[in-house]
Each structure stands twice: as C-alpha cells, then as structure tokens.
C-alpha cells in the first residue's frame, strides 16, 4: 500500500505534469522541424495574418499590411499576439529560423502553463483526483502537442487565458475584495485584446460570479460594474486607434465579415451559375488591395448575409457540418477515419471524439450531482463554439477551450469510476 500511495502522490504532482507537458511538446517540435527544410520554416510558419502584421510592426510600419502587401493599417486581428511575434522578430530577426524556434517555444510555454489553472480549477470543482486527471489529459492531448508547432498564432495563449479565466471566475465567486474584481477585469481586458471570440463568455461568467459573491438576499452591482469598466477601459485605446484609422467603430477586430463569408458563399451552392470553383488567396488579396479594408469587408458582409438569407436549408446543413467539424476536426469523420492511411490522423480524430463525448458526459455528471460549478464550466463548450457554427470550423479555433473540455472529460471519468465502485461494493445481507 505504501508503494501505491507513493505512486499516487508522484502522478498527482503538478511539477511532474508540467515537465511531461513541456517535454512532449518540445519533442514533437524537434522531431517535426528535422523533416522540414529550414528555408520553409523561416517563411511558411509566418505566412499568415499574424506573421504579416508582426513583420510590418518589426519594420516600423505600424499595425498593418495584413496580407504582406503594403495595404496600410488594419484591425484584422486583436493586437496582443502580433505584438509578441513582432518582439520575437526584433530580437531574433525577421523571418529567420531562430524566430521560428523562439515563437514555437513561446507557444509551448503558453500551452504547458495551461496545466496550472486547469489543475486548480479541477481541484476546486471536484477534488485532487480530477485536478491531476485533467492536467494529465491536457499534457498528453494530441491537439495540445501538435498545435504549438503547427500554428504561430494566438491559439496556445488563448487556451492558457481561457483556463485562467475559469479558475479566476471560481475564485472570484468566493471573494468580495475590490482588488480581486479589478484583477479579474484586467485579465478579461488582456484576453479580449488577444482573442475577442472568448468575449462571448464574459457577461455570463461575470454575471455568475456576481450572483455567487453577493450577500444573501441582496444583489450587489458595484464590484461587477467596476470589473466591467476595467475591461472596457482596456479596450478603449485600441478602439480609438481603429476609429482614427478607419473612421468607424471597430471595438476589437474587423475581420468577422470575411470569416462569415468564408463559410457562407456561392461555392457551397451546387446550383449557382457564377459561383467560383474555389477561394484563392491571390484573388482575395487583390480585391482587398483594390477596395481597402472597409469596403472589402462591407462587400463580404453583404455577400455572406445575402447567401444566408437566400439559402436557409443549405445554411442549416452547413451549420451541422461545422458543428461536426468543430468537435471532430472533419466534416465527415467516419468516412475519413476509414479512408485515411495515416495512423496519426486516426489518433487525432479518435482523441477529439472522445474529448467531445467526455465533455458532454462531464456536463451531465456535474448537473446530476447538483454541482454549484456546473453552469460556468458548461458555458465553455456550449457557448464559445457557436461563433464557429455560423462561420467556419477548425480544431484550431476550438483549441482555446480544450483545457476546459478535458477538465469535463476528467470529471466524467471520475464519475464513471465512482459509479462502478458503488456497483461492485457488496451489499449487506438482510437479517
């Protein structure tokens, strides 16, 4: 029994979990970079909107040139992560192998650090066993190992921030100190300036924390209002900058019309007469350069909303496919699982299906157990992905809430183990 207890204590060690998480991500990065020519890593890794804006910043040309052509200022992305990458470029050189490794290391650090808030959130919700289980799941989750290498984007930082927000919300619900509510406001302000999509959770989580922290029979709005005011103030400088540049209200980022159009356009209508065969980066960059950001996005908004209004049946079908793709990674997971020759693809697909099922069962376990934390935890997988059901889906987009998804999976596993233990427990013989 002493050996079993020692093993249990070792496996429950957060330090060990962090070491394994970091090592697994670094090992994957090191293995993959050996298979790709350095010249490709230097260019392709940063050949996206984040890399383009960061390059413009590093060259002293401001927050702009979203498609690498000198098209002027942009609000396509929120500013925090492009500024991080610009800092990397300043220190390690623009589009260099050293910059790729530095950016990859930052992603790995963010991803590894997410073990900490998810561990303590799990401990608060369901105890030490669930805490270590959730952290281990995150440490070894295929998406979390692969994405820091695959995407120089805010994805890993967003996962860390989402997990931290959950932990902070649970702590805040027990606090009436003004300082804690101020810190919560700054945390949300930084998060919105990193990944505005997480803002869909703000009013519900803040409302829940305010309700839980109130005095019995009395609703107090002072501290929640202060936290919300700080969130807004954090966003004001960026919003003012956007208004000066574009002469319109752009609170966080401007690209939603384009994202909506990507998933809702004539390509999906097989009966459309003038539909293009596919969307090409060259054509979109050319059109953006000709029209400018305001007119380009207005055009995409009109096209997307018209498509949605005129294709209600098809839109419902597309939303269903995006729902499936959000949770499995593919629109046709069963077909793809059978047809692929890649065991890695099969493993990723299976891991995501199990994570999604675990999250659903975890929500059920919390509500059936009448947990006071069921509402805030369930918000992450229920509310956050809705944006991508109407635009376009990717495991990368869902990744921000994956730590919470795996926390729910750990809760489901714990509930299942407890249920089986009760079933195996011998019943007392009636006298």
Answer yes or no: is 31 within a domain: yes
Query: For the segment 199-214, what is each residue's pLDDT rounded down to a tens digit?
Result: 999 999 999 999 988 7
Q: Which of 391, 426, 219, 217 is nearest to 304 (CA)?
A: 391
* pLDDT score recorded for residue 214: 79
* pLDDT score recorded for residue 419: 86
349-386 as b/e: b if 16+ CB within 10 A: bebbbebbebbbbbbbbbeeeebebbbbbbbbbbebbe
Q: In whole angstroms, what is the distance from residue 305 CA to residue 313 CA?
A: 14
How many CB atoms are located within 10 Å of the residue 5 CB? 9
Q: Which of 320, 286, 17 is nearest to 144 (CA)?
A: 17
Answer yes or no: is 387 within a domain: yes
Dihedral sign of CA atoms 81, 82, 86, 89 in order: positive
Q: What percentage of residues in the chain have a pLDDT greater than 70?
A: 95
* pLDDT score recorded for residue 422: 82
Query: For the segment 90-109, what is each residue's pLDDT rounded down to a tens digit?
Result: 999 999 999 999 999 999 99
Least confident of 172-176, 270-274, 331-335: 270-274
What single string gives the DSSP state of each residue in 114-136?
THHHHHHHHHHHH-HHHHHHHHH
Least confident of 4-13, 126-135, 238-247: 4-13
Answer yes or no: is 11 within a domain: yes
Answer yes or no: is 211 within a domain: yes
Total structural domains within the chain:
1
Answer yes or no: is 172 within a domain: yes
* 430 has pLDDT over 90: no
* 417 has pLDDT over 80: yes
| Overall average pLDDT of the 184-208 stretch | 97
Answer yes or no: is 191 within a domain: yes
* pLDDT score recorded for residue 78: 97
* 324 has pLDDT over 70: yes
CB 411 within 8 A of CB 130: yes
Answer yes or no: is 431 within a domain: no
What single string gives the DSSP state of each residue in 228-245?
HHHHHHHHHHHHHHHHHH
What single string gives the DSSP state of each residue in 88-124?
HHHHH-TT-HHHHHHHHHHHHHHHHHTHHHHHHHHHH
CB 397 within 8 A of CB 388: yes
Answer yes or no: is 168 within a domain: yes
Q: In whole angstroms, what is the distance from residue 302 CA to residue 261 CA?
A: 9
For residue 341, the enclosing domain spans 2-424
- CA distances, 25 to each of 132, 143, 147 (Å): 19, 10, 9
Using the structure block, give the residue that is written with the tokens 């900058």. Answer: 241
Q: And the tokens for 363?
A: 């929500």
CB 111 within 8 A of CB 156: yes
């Amino acid at each position: 029994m002493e050996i079993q207890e020692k093993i249990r204590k070792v496996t429950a060690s957060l330090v060990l979990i962090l070491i394994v998480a970091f090592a697994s991500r670094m090992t994957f990065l090191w293995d993959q970079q050996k298979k790709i020519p350095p010249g490709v890593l230097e260019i392709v890794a940063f050949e996206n909107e984040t890399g383009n804006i960061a390059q413009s910043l590093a060259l002293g040309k401001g927050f702009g040139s979203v498609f690498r052509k000198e098209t002027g200022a942009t609000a396509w992305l929120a500013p925090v992560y492009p500024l991080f990458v610009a800092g990397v470029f300043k220190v390690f050189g623009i589009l260099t192998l050293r910059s790729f490794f530095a950016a990859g290391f930052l992603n790995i650090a963010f991803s590894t650090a997410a073990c900490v808030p998810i561990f303590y959130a799990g401990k608060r919700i369901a105890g030490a066993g669930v805490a270590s289980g959730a952290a281990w799941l995150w440490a070894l989750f295929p998406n979390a190992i692969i994405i820091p290498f695959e995407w120089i984007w805010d994805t890993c930082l967003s996962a860390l921030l989402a997990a931290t927000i959950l932990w902070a919300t649970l702590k805040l619900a027990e606090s009436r100190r003004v300082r804690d509510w101020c810190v919560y406001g700054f945390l949300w302000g930084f998060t919105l300036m990193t990944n505005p999509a997480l803002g869909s959770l703000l009013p519900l989580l803040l409302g829940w924390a305010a309700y839980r922290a109130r005095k019995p029979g009395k609703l107090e709005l002072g501290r929640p209002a202060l936290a919300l005011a700080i969130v807004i103030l954090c966003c004001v400088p960026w919003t003012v900058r956007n208004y000066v540049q574009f002469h319109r209200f752009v609170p966080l980022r401007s690209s939603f019309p384009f994202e909506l159009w990507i998933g809702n356009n004539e390509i999906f209508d097989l009966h459309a007469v003038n539909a293009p065969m596919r969307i090409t980066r060259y054509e979109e960059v050319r059109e953006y350069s000709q029209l400018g950001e305001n007119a380009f996005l207005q055009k995409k908004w009109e096209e997307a909303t018209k498509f949605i209004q005129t294709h209600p049946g098809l839109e419902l079908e597309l939303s269903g496919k995006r729902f499936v793709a959000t949770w499995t990674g593919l629109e046709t997971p069963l077909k793809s699982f059978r047809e692929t020759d890649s065991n890695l693809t099969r493993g990723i697909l299976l891991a995501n299906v199990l994570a999604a099922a675990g999250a659903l069962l975890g929500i059920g376990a919390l509500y059936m157990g009448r947990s006071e934390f069921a509402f805030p935890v369930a918000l992450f997988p229920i509310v956050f992905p809705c944006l991508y059901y109407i635009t376009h889906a990717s495991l990368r987009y869902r990744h921000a809430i994956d730590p919470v998804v795996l926390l729910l999976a750990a809760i489901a596993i714990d509930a299942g183990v407890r249920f089986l233990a009760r079933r195996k427990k011998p019943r007392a013989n009636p006298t």
